[in-house]
Amino acid sequence: MKMIHMECPNHPDATLEGYLLDCDITLGLETDRPAIIVCPGGGYVYCSPREGEPIALGYTAMGYHAFILRYSTGKHCAGFTPLEEIDWAVGYIREHAKEWHINPEKILVCGFSAGGHLALASGILAHNKPNGMILGYPVASVKRYKGADFMFQILTGKADYTDEDIAVFDLPPKITKDAPPVFMFATAEDLLTPSGVLAVANKYTELGLGYELHVFQHGPHGMGLGTEVSADGSSQVLNSAFAHWQGLSSEWIKKVYGQPQFEDKSAGKMSKYLQELGLSMKNPEDMEGSKFA
């Protein structure tokens, strides 16, 4: 695995970290891998570590390249600067897709809570739109989000924001027919955001767009992976049913964007290495179909 670190130009508070898997023909992979950009939550006040690296590493374990966008937060959000940053991140990854063995048509964003709001905004408002979105309990419909005053102040940069200011950040009404496919998940017990995913689902249904939605019964807001890996010591966010969401999202990616194509090259590599050692294989055909590489 190769790790990379970049700063967003003219946005010193925003960084993009990448986890690039070894991905070339010697490993048997004939097609470039999808990439997933993770946007942690945190109410635009901070980027939650629980929804960053644990999520990204979970996807790399499933065979995806993964990135973490730690976008600007707090006072640096005024004017919705995080949207500029995720727009840059998607474009930057596309520019380097060939170098990093990424399929430029399979770049997805994965956001949680406020990061889900940002990920959804990138899919419908950005210039460099992702090819798909994975939204975990997103703050999609800000008008339905109780206690969001601090978020409105952060995003607008105003203490006396108006209804018109808030409408800019209310995303479901802005979804159009060119919005990318979306996978969403939340819990019914989340007192903050389930109405948001339903609003997105209703809009996608109205427009005849593809989406997948999972609403798990139990669990508070901010579940992360739903396992000990992202729990940060809190038993409230442990839920074995909810923990299936990441695997379900991977299945959805393969259904929507196609299965990766592999060609087994074990026998050829084994013969090459044996020749370099001055050894030979008595029956090379015995290696045909072997699955280790």
For the chain, helix, strand, coil in percent to 5 are 40, 20, 40
286 and 229, same domain (yes or no): no
Q: What is the pLDDT of residue 139?
A: 92
E strands of 175-291, at which residues? 182-187, 211-216
Look at residue 106 and give its three-state secondary structure.
strand
3-class DSSP assignment, residue 36: strand
What are the 10-residue block averages of pLDDT along the chain, 293 residues in total?
94 95 60 92 94 96 96 94 98 96 96 96 98 96 70 89 89 96 95 87 97 94 79 71 94 92 62 79 55 39
Q: Are residues 239 and 285 in the same domain?
A: no
Report helix, strand or coil for 271. helix
Q: 146 is written with which tokens?
A: 């109780």
Contacts of 196 (CB under 8 A, 6+ apart): 138, 139, 140, 141, 144, 145, 172, 186
290 and 239: one domain? no
Same-domain status, 278 and 145? no
DSSP codes joined into one string, 187-198: ETT-SSSHHHHH
Look at the chain and report how many structural domains it folds into: 2
Q: Which two tokens stand for residue 90?
A: 């998607």
Are both 12 and 98 inside the same structural domain? yes
276 and 244 in a common domain: no
pTM listed for this prediction? 0.88
Domain that holds residue 46: 2-262
Residues 163, 186, single domain; the answer is yes
Query: Which residues are bridge partners to 183 per DSSP?
Result: 134, 212
pLDDT for the residue numbered 292: 36
Looking at residue 113, what is its pLDDT? 94
- Residue 9 near residue 82, CB atoms below 8 Å: no
Q: Are residues 244 and 146 in the same domain?
A: yes
Looking at the structure, tell me whether residues 130 and 63 fall in a common domain: yes
pLDDT given for residue 290 in this prediction: 47
CA 217 to chain centre: 23
- Which pLDDT score is estimated for 266? 57
Task: Please give the radius of gyration of the chain, using alpha carbons only, rounded to the nearest integer.
Answer: 21
Contacts of 15 (CB under 8 A, 6+ apart): 5, 6, 7, 8, 69, 70
CATH of the domain at 147: 3.40.50.1820
Same domain, 56 and 83: yes
Whole-number pLDDT of residue 163 = 86
